[in-house]
Amino acid sequence: MLKAYKYRIYPNQKQKEMIKIHFGACRFVYNWALEQKIKTYEQTKKSISRFDLQHILVHEVKPSNEWLKEANSQALLASLVNVESAFTKFFREK
């Protein structure tokens, strides 16, 4: 038998701001990575790997977007994993 639990959090103002920063940064990275994968696939008919995206993110995107450094790096890398998973599932089912 499976059980489910619901939790409610009551973040203070500083915590709310950090949540907004993290969600915004993850959304930005997810959309950027998805755009890169789509462009690469349209041009070369091959998919760009998650590790190539990670290299570009760390060495090109983060230095040009200083506000991304405020977010946790593991959260940003998890966005890349999510894009890779979604892209793989899309093509597997198609």
pLDDT, tens digit, for every residue of 11-55? 999 999 999 999 999 999 999 999 999 999 999 988 899 999 999
Q: How many CB atoms lie within 10 A of CB 72?
A: 13
In angstroms, the CA 80 to CA 49 distance is 10
* 78 CB-contact burial (10 Å; exposed 0-12 / middle 13-18 / buried 19+): middle
Q: Can you read off the two tokens belonging to residue 15?
A: 């915590």
Domain parsing of the chain, residue ranges:
15-93
Inter-residue contact 70 to 25 (CB < 8 Å)? yes
pLDDT, tens digit, for every residue of 65-83? 999 999 999 999 999 999 9
Whether residue 91 is predicted with pLDDT greater than 80 in this model: the reply is no
Whether residue 7 is predicted with pLDDT greater than 80 in this model: the reply is yes
In angstroms, the CA 54 to CA 60 distance is 10
Q: How many residues does the chain have?
A: 94
pLDDT value of residue 94: 58
pLDDT value of residue 88: 85
